[in-house]
Amino acid sequence: MAHNFDVIIIGGGILGTSISYFLSFLNKSKKIAVVEQAHSVAFHTSGRNTGKVHAPYLYNPEKKKLFAKAAFHGFGMWEEYAKLRDLPFKKDGVIEVALDKKGIKVLEKYLKWGKQNGLGNKDIELMDKTELKKIEPEINCEAALYVYRDGSVDYSTFTRSIMKDSKQNGTKFLLDTKVTKIKKENDRWTITLNNEHKIFAKFLINAAGGEAVDIAHNAGVAEKVTDVHFRGEYWKVPKEYSNLTKTSVYSVPEFPDYPFLDPHWIIRVDGSCEIGPNAVPVFSPYGYNKTENIKEFIPKVLEMLGSGARKAIFDKQFQQLAMNEIQSSMSKSAMIDRVKRFLPKIDADKITEKGTAGIRSSVIDENGKFVPDVILVDDETSFHVLNYNSPGATGALPFSAHIVKHLNKTGLFNSEDLNVQCGPWKFNEIIENLQE
């Protein structure tokens, strides 16, 4: 194995893999590697999500402008990429329901945000309950937002395909390889892999998902923030419910100030149906089971007590939310009941099989507040992406192009010509779309 690299990307999730993709087109002469501890790319959050290509109606254009734009353009880019590589992409839409008068106000706000974020009149429509009943007779609600420009995919397949393209341009993927230590020495990074080998890099990109905050701290940046991990669990629904609705259904979240939604009714790209995810606090970004959570319990609690997360833990509303979520993890019917509010036909007794859980890591600032947006941290020889949460998979391609453009601007790669063809897209056109 070569030991010296120009750029090392930590994390082979959808973000790190997509960053490598654009870098590989723009910097063909550079030696680039992605280091991923799992056996395959997208093994963690990127392959354990709801699989929706989200229309950007949930995001305040003032507070999450770049994220919303990335989601808007991500839809078109994934659709195009799916066609190019013959991967499944279903434009199947989504319905967001309001269960009370307060919820209708929220839908009106979402409609406005959706349009501000680029959706047209044909992409999104507010309906009263009678109109919706004609289309979806099994759904009970007060009003609904029908979002036609929303899709379903399998992000693991997409990430594996992007990896293949990136590899063809020369990127190395070091799989089954964990970065166990990073140290800056003599203007370059010494990176220890699996506690054994050392490799060296001029520049480090941290796209490590649930470990991104720890790696940033090890690099000496973003020391004031910490993160809290939430496990999103799913239940698989038997085939007899497959035709209950034509479309996936979300409900207006009960606690909109927190960075997760209530469990949804999901129709996946292969037509199977699931209920989820909830958001159960856990102690590790890989806390899928008890063993891992017990192992990480003491270090994580000590870390939280010594940071802004302490204030969040003692916040009454957060405690109530955490209790709801823990209850919906311990009791299947507590979780199913949250969806039964708008799909009363479902019988929890018929649902017996769990789906694949995924974990999101939300960043908390020093005041104990959840940070709503992604955090990008520039350092002289490293770049860190923290809090890259939903709809991160949707926006991964344009967002990665944005990061690569930013790194180029800071003088790292000095590619003068950005009119480069990257697969089906011109790099500078992606950037122009994001700036509009």
Binding site for ligand FAD (CB under 6 A): 10-16, 35-38, 43-46, 49-52, 54, 178-179, 207-211, 232, 277, 358-360, 388-394
CB nearer to ligand FAD: give 104 or 374: 374
Q: Enter the tokens of residue 53.
A: 């290509």
Nearest residue (CB) to ligand FAD, 104 versus 280: 280
Nearest approach, Cβ of residue 180 and ligand FAD (Å): 7
Distance between CA 9 and CA 103 in Å, rounded? 42
CB-based contact 11:34 (threshold 8 Å) = yes
Considering the complex, state which of residue 104 and residue 182 has its C-beta at the smaller distance from ligand FAD: 182
**Nearer to ligand FAD by C-beta: 136 or 154?**
154
Least spacing, CB of residue 203 vs ligand FAD, in Å: 17
C-beta of 18 vs 27, nearer to ligand FAD: 18
Instruction: Work out the number of other CB atoms within 10 angstroms of the CB of residue 256.
Output: 11
- Between 332-340 and 316-330, two packed helices, what is the crossing angle to 10 degrees? 110
Min separation Cβ 7 and ligand FAD, Å: 15
Q: Could you tell me the smallest distance in angstroms from the CB atom of residue 316 to ligand FAD?
A: 25
Helix 396-409 crosses helix 14-26 at what angle (to 10 degrees)? 50
Neighbours of 348 (CB within 10 A): 17
By beta-carbon proximity to ligand FAD, the closer residue of 271 and 344 is 271
Give CA–CA dist 297/305, Å, rounded: 12
Least separation, in Å, of the C-beta of 414 and ligand FAD? 26
Residue nearer to ligand FAD on the CB measure, 358 or 415: 358
Least distance (Å) between residue 26 CB and ligand FAD = 20
Radius of gyration of the chain (CA): 21
d(CA 81, CA 338): 35
Alpha helix segments (H runs only) across 276-420: 290-305, 309-313, 316-330, 332-340, 396-409
**Nearest alpha-carbon partner for 325 in 295, 362, 296:** 362
- DSSP-assigned letter for residue 264: E
Question: Nearest distance from residue 131's CB to ligand FAD, in Å?
Answer: 26
